[in-house]
């Protein structure tokens, strides 16, 4: 059983792995009062150079007494150990379950000495297991807390977005390090520091939040009598007034480690456990700023902070009130941000090349002579395995209310497809094990979307209008279908719940397979149109021929003046035509 006292609060974090790899994800959280239709929403992007895009699925199940569950490391697939299985687990589709509970994450790393080398529960296992055992966001928080207390925490600092049909929470967690002691009775070594310190904060209704690989929870109402929960009073977790929960030793542990001294009210989870530096601001907080700036006109005052120019400035708040309501379509576009419209627009500087490419190949930081430089780390990035917008709707039955808007590969060139959370199978193109990062399958959604994305990377500003036209047509169609799909499902639900589930399963699978087929056709079209760097003439998707059936001559778009100027300056005039 959970042995520590517990309370509530929030935060977010970054983990920069050594050398060339960046483990990074961008999450948004939207409350009912901040959405256009009263939905709650969270988003997640699984950004990793080895993460394959597939739609995870687990059926609800009853387990015999004595059943166990093997825990695997999310980053390496190494078995970490075995824990007892519960009697019943819930169905999940992606990172959303049948009760409209959804979870996303971003790794912030934090103090490296706090990683527990003996821990069993890594962040991925916590996400999957919490969904399989929880009917609400608060219940998921409790499951996570109890799992790390019982089995130890195996990951570095992590931020979780956790939502259900009524509210959204942000939970930040970090381990306590490894301090081994020999137990004479069992004749084994065990970690004296097993467990973690953590805080979870409920985002107030009408507000939004975001996190992107840096811990964002600062101060919180520590020991607030109206919201605190003791180890013997987990039943209070359902209190409507509850705003924050946290591990009882979250401050005491920091004092013990000499990370913090001062009054409890001044304790900041982020500043203590994941101190801010230039990289955390520029690579992480700037992504949060980019989303906030889309919906709030008062964000310019945080520009110097978010860009890392002045880390002494006031930090951005954990949550803000948007100037307008937010829809799933808005979140899809926010996922495609590359600082366009700002002074750091990645399609405008020299690194964008002649075709305005808003991507930079890794490593993120690089050396030249005696200095270190960097590329911007923005929301839309090439190494995304998959991303989603989880939409939860309290006015509908759970079987109909939850939609996992799911897309594979780069958010800039993906299509977000509606997968209803009650669906009972996954379309073949998205199934786990259908291809992997080292195994190509020409009908796997991940590889179909990657082929189109890589073509776009060659001639970005030429190709993207064609991609966006099809992308928008599909996503707008799916969004416009929602009301009718819901209504049909509700009518079936009134007769027989299983009929509604069958209908939504067929609908989701059909839309997914249709999208993959359409994207394959798009890839073929782009290859023909832009072959050899030319641009064939076409009208409404049909290539033009002369009266005798021969292709019309292609166009030669050439290069923009800025690129011509750079070539001239770098060539000392040797290309001057005489």
Q: What is the DSSP string of 455-469?
A: HHHHSHHHHHHHHHH
Do residue 109 and residue 254 come from a single domain? Answer: yes
Residues in contact with 320: Cβ distance below 8 Å, sequence separation at least 6, in sequence order? 207, 208, 209, 292, 296
Model confidence at 182, pLDDT cuts 50, 70, 90, reads confident
Per DSSP, the three-state class of 34 is helix
Residue 156 and residue 284: Cα distance in Å, rounded? 16
Instruction: Classify residue 361: in a domain, yes or no.
Output: no
Contact 170, 12 (CB under 8 A): yes
Do residue 480 and residue 546 come from a single domain? Answer: no
Q: Is the pLDDT of residue 5 over 90?
A: no
Instruction: Classify residue 380: in a domain, yes or no.
Output: no
Between these two residues, 5 and 569, which has the higher pLDDT value? Answer: 569
Do residue 307 and residue 331 come from a single domain? Answer: yes
Contact 30, 41 (CB under 8 A): yes
Do residue 303 and residue 412 come from a single domain? Answer: no
Do residue 323 and residue 257 come from a single domain? Answer: yes
Query: In the prediction, which pLDDT does 431 show?
Result: 98
Do residue 441 and residue 476 come from a single domain? Answer: yes
Q: Is the pLDDT of residue 224 over 60?
A: no
CA 308, 333, 436, 527 torsion-angle sign: negative
Do residue 459 and residue 558 come from a single domain? Answer: no
Four-CA torsion 421, 332, 49, 114, nearest 10 degrees: -80
Between these two residues, 220 and 63, which has the higher pLDDT value? Answer: 63
Instruction: Classify residue 498: in a domain, yes or no.
Output: yes
Query: In the prediction, which pLDDT does 238 show?
Result: 85
Average pLDDT for residues 262-266, to the nearest whole number?
90
Of 308, 337, 366, the residue at which a domain comes to its end is 337
Do residue 480 and residue 542 come from a single domain? Answer: no
Instruction: Classify residue 250: in a domain, yes or no.
Output: yes
Average pLDDT for residues 193-197, to the nearest whole number?
92
Do residue 207 and residue 294 come from a single domain? Answer: yes
DSSP bridge partners of 69: 83
**pTM value?**
0.93
Of 312, 337, 362, the residue at which a domain comes to its end is 337
Residue 336 and residue 319: Cα distance in Å, rounded? 21
Query: In the prediction, which pLDDT does 230 show?
Result: 52
Please give the tally of structural domains in the chain: 3
Query: In the prediction, which pLDDT does 231 show?
Result: 56
Instruction: Classify residue 231: in a domain, yes or no.
Output: yes
Query: In the prediction, which pLDDT does 269 show?
Result: 97
Q: Which residue has the tokens 């709650």?
A: 40
Instruction: Classify residue 218: in a domain, yes or no.
Output: yes
Distances (CA, A) of 461 to 180, 347, 416, 515, 564: 57, 9, 22, 23, 16
Q: What is the pLDDT of residues 484-520, one digit of tens each?
A: 999 999 999 999 999 999 999 999 999 999 999 999 9
Instruction: Classify residue 42: in a domain, yes or no.
Output: yes
Longest dimension (CA), the chain: 92
Residue 290 and residue 283: Cα distance in Å, rounded? 11
Q: Share the mean pLDDT of the chain.
A: 92
Query: In the prediction, which pLDDT does 235 show?
Result: 73
Looking from the CA of 263 toward its CB, the CA atoms found within 13 Å total 5
Query: In the prediction, which pLDDT does 17 show?
Result: 37
Q: What is the pLDDT of residues 536-570, one digit of tens each?
A: 999 999 999 999 999 999 999 999 999 999 999 99
Q: Which residue has the tokens 């880390």?
A: 311
Q: Is the pLDDT of residue 223 over 70?
A: no
For residue 175, what are the domain limits? 15-337
Q: Is the pLDDT of residue 89 over 90?
A: yes
Q: Is the pLDDT of residue 184 over 90?
A: no
Residue 136 and residue 562: Cα distance in Å, rounded? 54
Average pLDDT for residues 32-53, to the nearest whole number?
97
Do residue 542 and residue 519 come from a single domain? Answer: no
Strand boundaries in 101-251, DSSP class E? 102-109, 157-163, 168-175, 180-183, 188-191, 196-202, 208-211, 244-246
Instruction: Classify residue 273: in a domain, yes or no.
Output: yes
Do residue 160 and residue 20 come from a single domain? Answer: yes
Query: In the prediction, which pLDDT does 143 show?
Result: 96
Do residue 97 and residue 155 come from a single domain? Answer: yes
Average pLDDT for residues 300-325, to the nearest whole number?
96
Q: Looking at beta carbons, which pairs linking 288-293 to residues 24 or more positions away fall under 8 Å?
A: 288/12, 288/210, 288/211, 288/212, 288/216, 288/316, 289/316, 290/334, 290/337, 290/339, 290/342, 290/378, 290/379, 291/26, 291/28, 291/208, 291/210, 291/334, 291/337, 291/379, 292/208, 292/210, 292/316, 292/320
């Amino acid at each position: 059983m959970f042995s520590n006292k517990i309370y509530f609060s929030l935060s977010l974090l970054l983990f920069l792995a050594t050398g060339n790899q960046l483990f990074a994800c961008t999450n948004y959280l939207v409350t009912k009062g901040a959405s256009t239709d009263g939905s709650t929403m969270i988003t997640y992007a699984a950004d990793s150079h080895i993460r394959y895009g597939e739609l995870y699925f687990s059926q609800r199940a009853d387990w015999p007494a004595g059943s166990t569950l093997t825990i695997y490391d999310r980053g390496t697939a190494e078995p970490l150990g075995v824990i007892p299985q519960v009697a019943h687990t819930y169905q999940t589709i992606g990172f959303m379950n049948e009760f409209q509970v959804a979870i996303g994450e971003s790794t912030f790393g934090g103090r490296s000495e706090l990683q527990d080398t003996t821990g069993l529960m890594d962040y991925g296992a916590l996400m999957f297991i919490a969904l399989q055992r929880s009917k609400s966001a608060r219940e998921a928080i409790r499951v996570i807390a109890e799992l790390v207390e019982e089995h130890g925490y195996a990951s570095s600092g992590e931020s979780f977005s956790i939502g259900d049909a009524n509210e959204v929470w942000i939970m930040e967690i970090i381990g306590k390090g490894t301090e081994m002691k020999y137990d004479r009775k069992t004749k084994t070594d065990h970690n004296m520091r097993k467990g973690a310190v953590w805080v979870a904060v409920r985002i107030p209704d009408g507000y939004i939040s975001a996190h992107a690989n840096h811990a964002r929870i600062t101060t919180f109402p520590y020991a607030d009598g109206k919201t605190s929960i003791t180890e013997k009073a987990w039943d209070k977790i359902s209190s409507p007034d509850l705003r924050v929960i946290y591990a009882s030793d979250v401050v005491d542990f920091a004092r013990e480690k000499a990370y913090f001294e001062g009054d409890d009210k001044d304790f900041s989870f982020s500043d203590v456990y994941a101190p801010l530096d230039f990289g955390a601001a520029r690579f992480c907080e700037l992504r949060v700023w980019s989303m906030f700036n889309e919906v709030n006109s008062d964000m310019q005052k945080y520009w110097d902070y978010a860009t890392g120019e002045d880390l002494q400035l006031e930090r951005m708040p954990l949550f803000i009130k948007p100037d307008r309501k937010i829809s799933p379509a808005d979140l899809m576009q926010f996922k495609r941000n590359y600082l366009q419209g700002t002074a750091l627009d990645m399609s405008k500087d020299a690194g964008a090349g002649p075709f305005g490419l808003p991507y930079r190949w890794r490593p993120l930081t690089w050396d030249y002579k005696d200095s270190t430089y960097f590329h911007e780390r923005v929301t839309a990035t090439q190494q995304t395995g998959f991303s989603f917008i989880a939409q939860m709707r309290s006015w509908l039955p759970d079987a109909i209310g939850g939609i996992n808007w799911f897309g594979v590969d780069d958010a800039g060139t993906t299509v977000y497809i509606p997968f209803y959370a009650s669906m009972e199978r996954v379309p073949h193109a998205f199934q786990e094990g259908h291809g992997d990062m080292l195994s190509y399958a020409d009908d796997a959604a991940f590889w179909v979307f990657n082929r189109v994305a890589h073509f776009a990377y060659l001639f970005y500003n030429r190709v993207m209008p064609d991609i966006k036209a099809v992308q928008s047509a599909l996503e707008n169609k799916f969004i416009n279908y929602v009301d009718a799909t819901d209504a049909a499902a509700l009518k079936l639900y009134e007769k027989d719940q299983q009929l509604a589930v069958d209908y939504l399963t067929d609908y989701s699978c059909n839309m997914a397979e249709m999208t993959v087929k359409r994207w394959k056709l798009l890839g073929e079209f782009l290859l023909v149109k832009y072959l050899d760097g030319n641009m064939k003439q076409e009208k409404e998707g049909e290539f033009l021929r002369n009266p005798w059936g021969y292709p019309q001559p292609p166009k030669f778009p050439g290069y923009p003046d800025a690129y011509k100027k750079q070539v001239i300056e770098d060539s000392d005039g040797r290309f001057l035509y005489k």
